[in-house]
C-alpha cells in the first residue's frame, strides 16, 4: 500500500543554517506530494505541494522537488529562522480511485532552530 518514510528527528540547527528533511514514498499510482507544518498547539498547515514528476513546490523559502526516479520529496531551506521551529510532515495523496483525497503521512520531524 501507499506509505511515506521521513527522516526521524529531532533536528536542531542554528539560525541561518541549511535545512534538509528527507522524505521517500511508496505508491502504486501517481500521487500528489505535500509538506505540512505544525506549530506548537496548532493543527497542520499546508506548506507546499507538487502534483507530478519534476514539479517543484515552494513557499516561505522552503522547496521540495518531486523525484519519481528516486521516489523522493526532500524538504530544503537555505537559511532557517527561529520561527521555523515546528514539526514537519511529508504526505502523499491518491489522485483517483476509491481513496481519492486520502493523505498518507510520515511520522513527522521536529525542527528546533536556535538563535
Contact residues for other proteins (CB under 8 A)?
A: 32, 34, 36, 42-46, 49, 51, 89, 91, 93, 95, 100-103, 105-108
Nearest to other proteins of 51, 112 (CB atom): 51
Residue 111 neighbours by CB under 8 Å, 6+ apart: 9, 10, 11, 12, 13, 19, 21, 80, 84, 85, 86, 87, 88
Q: Which is nearer to other proteins, 17 or 63 (CB)?
A: 63
Q: Rounded to the nearest whole angstrom, what is the least distance from the CB of residue 97 to other proteins in the complex? A: 12
Least Å from the CB of residue 88 to other proteins: 11
Given the complex with other proteins, which of 46 and 53 has the nearer CB atom? 46
Query: Considering the complex, what minimum distance in angstroms separates the CB of residue 79 from other proteins?
Result: 26
Beta strands in 1-115 (DSSP E): 3-6, 11-14, 19-21, 23-26, 32-38, 44-50, 56-59, 62-65, 75-77, 86-93, 103-105, 109-114
Amino acid at each position: 500500500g501507499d506509505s511515506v518514510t521521513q527522516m526521524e528527528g529531532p533536528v536542531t540547527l542554528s539560525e541561518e543554517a541549511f535545512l534538509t528533511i528527507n522524505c521517500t514514498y511508496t505508491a502504486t499510482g501517481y500521487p500528489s506530494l505535500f509538506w505540512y507544518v505544525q506549530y506548537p498547539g496548532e493543527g497542520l498547515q499546508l506548506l507546499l505541494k507538487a502534483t507530478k514528476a519534476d514539479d517543484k513546490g515552494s513557499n516561505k523559502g522552503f522547496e521540495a522537488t518531486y523525484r519519481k526516479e528516486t521516489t523522493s520529496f526532500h524538504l530544503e531551506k537555505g537559511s532557517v529562522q527561529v520561527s521555523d521551529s515546528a514539526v514537519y510532515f511529508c504526505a502523499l495523496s491518491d489522485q483517483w480511485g476509491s481513496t481519492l483525497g486520502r493523505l498518507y503521512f510520515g511520522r513527522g520531524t521536529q525542527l528546533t532552530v536556535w538563535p
